Amino acid sequence: MTVPLTQEPILLALHRGDISLQGQFLNSSNRTFLGTLVHEESSLQVVYKPTQGESPLWDFPPRSLARREVAAYRLSRALGWDLIPPTVYRHKNAPFGPGSLQLFVDHDPQVHFFTLTPEQKQSLRPLAVFDLLANNADRKGGHLLLGTDGRLWVIDHGICFHVEDKLRTVIWDFAGEPIPDPLLADVARVMDELAQEGPLFASLRAMLLPAEVRALLRRGKRLLANPRFPQPASHRRPYPWPPI
């Protein structure tokens, strides 16, 4: 589905619509479902990740992954990059209890990071900066979707925002390059908003621990002080497994 320029109607539908499940994604490490959402006269396909279906991780707080999905969407939107399909935390009237609900994007399942053309990969600089800010510990190649509208989207952000540096990604194409000025301007604006602890801070704080929001601010300030794409870490594993 093509996401309209204004996402508010979709967000409202995600919060209020009636959900019926169509099936389960069996290759997911957490319980993940495809569903249909009906709101007023609209019908959307959605991806539902119930909090109670999350597999425990030793290094992330329990029952926090669905909220991290929402925090990633909110950060992407605050930056003005809209990399992630509309995503909300559904508190009520969800089949297996509270969890994240994300618009399903029609896409070509044969396309992933490793099948992109060189020209398509050149467009991924905002995503590389986003993953650095969000401290994405699991940017697999299959998390990039080519929508039927020709637009690239990214999904699966449940293990982001840890307070320790955990960046693991397949996107190291820009390592050592300067980060483009327009992207730096967006980062600077968002970091200023976070530092003021206003609406954006509160929005992210509703999904993350206070220490995790402060760590995001530190990463942003560090990026602005040294505005280059980083090299892969030598003291820990910088790539996800499996890569797709």
Return the sign of the alpha-carbon dihedral for residues 55, 59, 60, 62: positive
Q: And the tokens for 133?
A: 């800010």
Q: What is the pLDDT of residue 90?
A: 97
Domain annotation for the chain: domains and CATH numbers: 8-225 (1.10.510)
Cβ(216)–Cβ(224) below 8 Å: no
- CA torsion sign for 164, 179, 70, 221 is positive
- From first to last of its 244 residues, the chain has per-residue pLDDT tens of 444 446 889 999 999 999 999 999 988 889 999 999 999 888 999 999 999 999 999 999 999 999 999 999 999 999 999 999 999 999 999 999 999 999 999 999 999 999 999 999 999 999 999 999 999 999 999 999 999 888 999 999 999 999 999 999 999 999 999 999 999 999 999 999 999 999 999 999 999 999 999 999 999 999 999 999 999 988 899 999 999 9
Confirm if 21 and 34 have CB atoms less than 8 A apart.
yes
